[in-house]
Amino acid sequence: MTQSTGQTSSTGCQSGDVSLHVVQGDGSSKGPLKRNNRMGRRRAIVLMLVQLAIIVHVIIWVLSREYGWFGGRTITPIEPSESMEFSKYGVINAGLIFFVLAMISTLILGRWFCGWGCHVVMLQDFCLWIMRRFKIHPKPFRSRLLLWAPLVLAVYMFIWPLFYRFIIAPFTRPELDWPGISMHLTTTDFWATFPGVFVGILFLGICGFATVYVLGAKGFCTYGCPYGGFFAPLDKVAPMRIRVTDACEGCAHCTAVCTSNVRVHEEVRTWGMVTDPGCMKTMDCVNNCPTQALYFGPGKTALGRKSVQRAEPARRKWDLSMTEEVVLAILCFLLFWSWRGLYASVPMLMAIGIASVLTWVFWRTWRLLRDPNANLHRWRLKYHGRLRFPGYVFGLIALILLVLSLQAFVIRCATWNGDRLLKRFDMPVRMALDPARPALSESGEVSARAALDAYGLASGIQKGGIGFADDPNVLLATARIHLILGDPERAIRLQEEVNTSFGPTEAVSLVMHQVMSRFEPSEQVVSFEDAMLERHPEWLELRIAAIDRSMMTGDAERVHALIQSGLERTPDALALLQRRAVQLVQQGQIKESIEVMKQYLELAPRDALAWATLARTLALDGQRAEGDAAIGRALAVEPVVPAVLIEAIGYYMQTGRSGQARELESRLNQYQQQR
């Protein structure tokens, strides 16, 4: 059997292609290789069980929301990408725990999880199985530099946020405090971090079929998976790996059946074991070895392979020259940057899949133009310098993909330019709504108009842009500019369009609520609040905003209704308990307010301002000793925070102790002078 690892050129085998001749144990060739699929079937069953567990998880979440099981909550997604929440915000979730356990197991067993537990591997293996049914045998694309893409992406996703927050931010953004570590193992919105159905289908097609077709079996794992970026180096220290006995006859059956693109026969001949970190422990090589020479067991790690070297390692073959490597690495980065987040729809992993596939397509197009002969699987694209019909079709597809990529690049550049200009004159929504704020400077006006032009270019065709669809982030940025320029009606229309076209989100609805509260009649604002909270009763921040607005308008009945309905759903919501206590004080129900405040402080014992508020409320009820204890707790937690000091001064003045009040006033003045 002959298995080529590259695409044919004028000589039938490019530089970098490897012809692999599989022989039988006696050294003679005896026809096509027969695969033993027993291990493959076992692995397929395990992967299908993993997929079934994912489906069951989703079904339980849907039913819990529908029927109120478990309070409408379920375990957070058991997906490694969820670990980014820890890198960004210190949140420990099920995805992080799972990812850490997977990495620990990789330190011992090697990269087994990829082969036996990853649903994307199942997708790629399924696509490979279908292709083989149609006599299509994808050949691995071998690149030196692009192999680093998974590790670079992993560092960007999981290491860079921590590095930025602790090393860079103290000098550039000192207000960016670390929120601390928190646990978040359950959620009411399981699908919040996942794309919609349409994007999900595209992801399956690109990261499943397309990557396998052009990059080879497990092509996405090789050039796009950030988790593999961590698993691959950890695999090098694993004692458990594929090893060989003296029964090996060098027949290369193992390499022929490997779907991880590992040249197993060369590895075991050189090192006595497989050291390639691309090995996913599928066991196909072990199961298909005609002499049973391969096994999975403990021994030396890949880091110590020099001490057990048996032969000179075979020279690695690559499909690209070094010049091509550098050019394609830059091209892959630009494609990833262009497609990532396009129309606020393309997730990061899908973007790297697109970038990897398009990088190969454009490289192959270059080779099609340069080389006299070119094939793609069974298709002859070019022969003796003349393009065949499949070559014209391939060239047309490549041209369309090039135009789409250039369009994506221009949209991303325009969006980046708009974001850059917006930073020059941006301001908080509350400040933009303040009628007393100073008008924009002339340079601010110029930047605002230029930003609108940039965002206009990035908009959909129907709005005069070049995009096939609108980007909600572009629409929201445009709305923000119109608000700053003093056109709140247009800002509200754009925000309503985002909520209508893309589905309402709490962040957008909060901004709409702020703007409407300033410019719209109270009845219209109430109608908006009720509509949003009826559809999304879990939106706590919008509920709090509605409560605060109703408190300002003196609508005590509505305040009570909003607080009660919120507490029925989330009885331990700190913000609701806090406002319930305030409402009770306003109604003169001091004792009831004290009980609610104590309930709140059991959940938030380090809220110094709440302790100070409790102290003043206890003083109103004549409980001076308890009030002194509460104000002491407040000052112990935050001894120099101005808001706490002001409350403490008020407490001591309220209880007739002006001496202690003056001491705290002195402390407050010293702190303000130091600032």
* Beta strands in 169-233, from DSSP E residues, in sequence order: 182-183, 186-187
What's the mean pLDDT in 308-332?
93
* Alpha-helical regions (H) of 485-623: 488-502, 506-519, 522-535, 540-553, 556-569, 574-586, 590-603, 608-620
| Model pLDDT, residue 10 | 38
Assess contact for 290 and 253: CB atoms under 8 A: yes
What's the mean pLDDT in 579-594?
88
Q: Where are the domains of the chain?
A: 2-308
What tens digit of pLDDT does each residue of 189-208 get? 888 888 888 999 999 999 99
With left for phi above 0 and alpha for psi between -120 and 50, is residue 135 left, alpha or beta?
Answer: left
Residue 577 has pLDDT above 50, yes or no: yes
The rounded radius of gyration (Å) of the Cα atoms in the chain is: 32
Q: How confident is the model at residue 19 (pLDDT cuts 50, 70, 90)?
A: very low
| Model pLDDT, residue 66 | 81
The three-state DSSP-derived secondary structure of 235-259 is HCCCCCEEEECCCCCCCCHHHHHCC
Pairing state between β 91-92 and 182-183: parallel
What's the mean pLDDT in 513-525?
93
Q: What tokens were used for 133?
A: 């049914």
Mean pLDDT, the chain, rounded, equals 90
| Model pLDDT, residue 71 | 73
Assess contact for 241 and 274: CB atoms under 8 A: yes
> What are the CA-CA distances from residue 602 to residues 281, 541, 564, 582, 643 (Å)?
50, 21, 20, 17, 21
Could you tell me the strand order of the sheet in which 379-383 lies? 374-376, 379-383, 386-387
What's the mean pLDDT in 401-413?
98
Assess contact for 593 and 584: CB atoms under 8 A: yes
| Model pLDDT, residue 32 | 52
Chain centroid, CA 158 distance in Å? 10
| Model pLDDT, residue 517 | 93
What is the percent of the chain with per-residue pLDDT over 90, rounded to a whole number? Answer: 68
Assess contact for 641 and 635: CB atoms under 8 A: no
What's the mean pLDDT in 548-572?
90
What tens digit of pLDDT does each residue of 262-318 get? 999 999 999 999 999 999 999 999 999 999 999 999 999 999 888 889 999 888 889
Other beta carbons within 10 angstroms of residue 36's beta carbon come to: 14
Helix/strand/coil for 380? strand
CA dist., res. 226 & res. 637, Å (int): 42
CA dist., res. 60 & res. 73, Å (int): 9
Decide: residue 320, CB within 10 A, 0-12 exposed, 13-18 middle, 19+ buried: buried
CA dist., res. 220 & res. 222, Å (int): 5
What's the mean pLDDT in 603-623?
88
| Model pLDDT, residue 27 | 42
CA dist., res. 27 & res. 250, Å (int): 9
| Model pLDDT, residue 361 | 98
Strand partners, 295: 243
How many Cα neighbours within 13 Å face the side chain of 13? 11
What tens digit of pLDDT does each residue of 341-385 get? 999 999 999 999 999 999 999 999 999 999 999 999 889 999 999
CA dist., res. 583 & res. 514, Å (int): 22
Q: How confident is the model at residue 468 (pLDDT cuts 50, 70, 90)?
A: very high
Q: At a CB cut-off of 8 Å and minimum separation 6, what does 441 contact?
A: 425
CA dist., res. 291 & res. 301, Å (int): 24
Q: What tokens were used for 508?
A: 């957008």
| Model pLDDT, residue 176 | 82
What's the mean pLDDT in 474-488?
95
What tens digit of pLDDT does each residue of 546-555 get? 999 999 998 9
Q: What tokens were used for 662?
A: 């003056």
Query: Between vectors from CA 296 to CA 222 and to CA 225, what angle results, nearest 5°?
Result: 15
CA dist., res. 15 & res. 9, Å (int): 9
Q: What tokens were used for 356?
A: 């990897």
Query: Between vectors from CA 60 to CA 226 and to CA 506, what angle results, nearest 5°?
Result: 70
What's the mean pLDDT in 137-147?
94
Helix/strand/coil for 613? helix
What tens digit of pLDDT does each residue of 35-78 get? 667 888 999 999 999 999 999 999 999 998 888 788 778 999 99
Residue 30 has pLDDT above 80, yes or no: no
| Model pLDDT, residue 666 | 83
Decide: residue 634, CB within 10 A, 0-12 exposed, 13-18 middle, 19+ buried: buried
Residue 3 has pLDDT above 70, yes or no: no
Q: CA nearest 158: which of 88, 95, 78?
A: 88
Q: What tokens were used for 3?
A: 């298995």
CA dist., res. 192 & res. 93, Å (int): 14
